[in-house]
Amino acid sequence: MNQVLSGGDDMSASKVLVGVMYSGENEYERCLQSIKLQKGVDVELFAIENTPNKEAHDRLYDKFNTDGDRCDLIVKIDADMILLDDFALHRVVRLFKDNGSLDHLMIDVHDYLSDMPIPSMNFYSNRVKWRGNDENLIVDYHGSYSGPLIRIMDGPIANHMSDPGLMQAFYFGIHRCLKAIQPERRKKDVGRAMLHWSIITRIFESYLRLGDVRRLLAMGGAHFVLNHPNPIECLDYKSDRMSHQCKEFRENRSEADLAELLEDWRYPLKMQKLWFSKLSKS
């Protein structure tokens, strides 16, 4: 289901095209609310709901290509991201206007599960175009542009996954681990793999410090992928067959059972060796 909503209280303000994709995230309504409350900008919000990941991204980028030219700024906001204040988009618009050649701005978000800033919310000028790709795993690719890319790491613009559901946390671990090992991907993106592996390990460290069974469930999702005989099958983790396996994995284990199962994560070098083996061979 697609919906187009309007937000912003100043119709003479800069036009911002916001694309959001929803597939069951617990934070969705708060995400939409944080966008509609933005001040100093005229927001056009395009939401794609309950659509397979690859198809959702293709449709999103088609929309950006079609309507981006008439906007001052384009932004992709995941349904589990909540903007931190009502002038967040206005400040980004000003940054683009003050730096006329800027085409791509990445601003980190604060991830609850890992308790750290992670990449990122992506903003684009109206010069950026998306050409499509054949990926089924890394489908959130960036468009083509000639201007500079800037990344802001020390001032998160949004909270990420601040209140995940149990299965949402488990699926997050699966998705991150798939990006960390990139099964059957001919040319591995090692930098991206290392990033996602570092997030996974930080989730476990955060569980040891702060608790919350949802962090443990995210680690369970990563464990599920690392120990699967054919990790590429985990790619469609919301299919009926894989969803059944995931629910069976989660529902048959208490928090104590999960903690015992994940005991090896206390030994980073051991798990790093397993991860690198999967990255090299899968």
Q: Tell me how far apart the alpha carbons of residues 278 and 222 are, in angstroms, rounded to a whole number.
A: 12
Q: Tell me how far apart the alpha carbons of residues 134 and 147 are, in angstroms, rounded to a whole number.
A: 25
Q: Tell me how far apart the alpha carbons of residues 74 and 97 are, in angstroms, rounded to a whole number.
A: 13
Q: Is the dihedral of CA 90, 64, 37, 119 positive or negative?
A: negative
On the 0-12 / 13-18 / 19+ scale of CB atoms within 10 A, 203 is buried
Q: Model pTM? A: 0.89
pLDDT tens digits, 99-113: 999 999 999 999 999
The mean pLDDT of 107-124, rounded to a whole number, is 96
Go through the domains of the chain in sequence order and give each one's CATH number. Answer: 2-160 (3.90.550.10), 166-281 (no CATH)
The mean pLDDT of 268-274, rounded to a whole number, is 94
149 with 122: CB under 8 angstroms?
no
Q: How much of the chain is helix, strand and coil, in % rounded to 5?
A: 45, 20, 30
pLDDT on residue 174: 94
Taking residue 20's Cβ as centre, other Cβ atoms within 10 Å add up to 23
What residue type is 30 in one-letter code?
R
129-to-54, 65, 66 alpha-carbon distances in Å? 18, 6, 9
Q: Tell me how far apart the alpha carbons of residues 19 and 8 are, in angstroms, rounded to a whole number.
A: 15
pLDDT tens digits, 50-69: 988 888 899 999 999 999 99
For tokens 């903690």, the residue is 259
Q: Could you give the 3-state DSSP secondary structure of residue 33?
A: helix
**In the predicted model, is pLDDT for residue 135 greater than 80?**
no
pLDDT on residue 239: 79
